[in-house]
Every structure is written in C-alpha cells, then in structure tokens.
A = this chain, B = another copy of it.
Amino acid sequence: MSKQELVVLGQDQSGCCPALLTAPLDEGQAVELAKVFKALGDPVRLRLLSMIASREGGEICVCDLTPAFDLSQPTISHHLKLLRQAGLIDCERRGTWVYYRLLPETTDKLAAVLTRPGQPTATEAPS
C-alpha cells in the first residue's frame, strides 16, 4: 500500500504544512488540502476513521468495522479506500483479513494547518 498520498498536504516553510490561517493558500496547495478535508467530509468515513484511530493496539480488522454499519461490504471498502487515498489510514492484509491503522502524520498535519499562529501545534509540541 503506497504512502505516496501523504505528499498531498504540501509543506510550509517549517517543512510541515500549508499555512491556511496565516497566508493565502495558492491554488495547488488548496487543491491538495481540499482532497483530505473532502475525505473527512462524510459521516461514515469519520466514524470509520475514529474506530480505527481509537482502537487499542493501533489497528482494527475490517471484519470488526463492517458490522458497525448498516452498509454493504463493498460500500465500506469504498469509504476505506477514499480514506487511504487521502493518506489518513493504511492497511495490511494478513491471512483472510485486512487490518487498518491510522496514519497520524496526516491528522497531525491537518491539526497544524488549523492551528492559529502563536498556538503550539500537535507536531511541534512536546509529547
């Protein structure tokens, strides 16, 4: 599973993120950033992402995701694919099942993009 999608967020001068709140985005930055927000702009995808992100152990079997929704397996798979293409999650097949995990670099970058100047960001702050 390629992680190439992660580059869609672009980089600001600090090597992190487009500066959404401090300077006008250029068109290319806006196009790439909008793809990630669009992936989050759906209730089913948000619920899938939160189930994956909050799972103890850091990953969840697709077999544990599907029963939570009144949707077909292909529909769930489609939503998972969009989250993956946006660089928000990654997956690994082991045996019969596919296991999904959060890519926290992307949510960290989005949090930084949405943080006002002068406020510490998730990626800059000490853990």
Q: Give A24-41 as 1s and 0s: 1 = Cβ < 8 Å from B's Cβ atoms.
A: 110100110111011111
Copies of this chain, how many?
A: 2
Q: Chain A binding site: helix, strand, loop or mixed by DSSP? A: helix
- Known: A20-B53, A40-B41, A43-B34. Contact between A122 and B116, CB under 8 A? yes
Q: Give A1-15 as 1s and 0s: 1 = Cβ < 8 Å from B's Cβ atoms.
A: 000000000000000
- Known: A30-B47, A40-B41. Contact between A23 and B127, CB under 8 A? no
Question: Is A54 interfacial (CB 8 A cutoff)?
Answer: yes
- Identify which of B49, B104, B119 contacts A127 (C-beta below 8 A): B119
A38 contact set on B, CB distance < 8 A: 37-38, 41-42
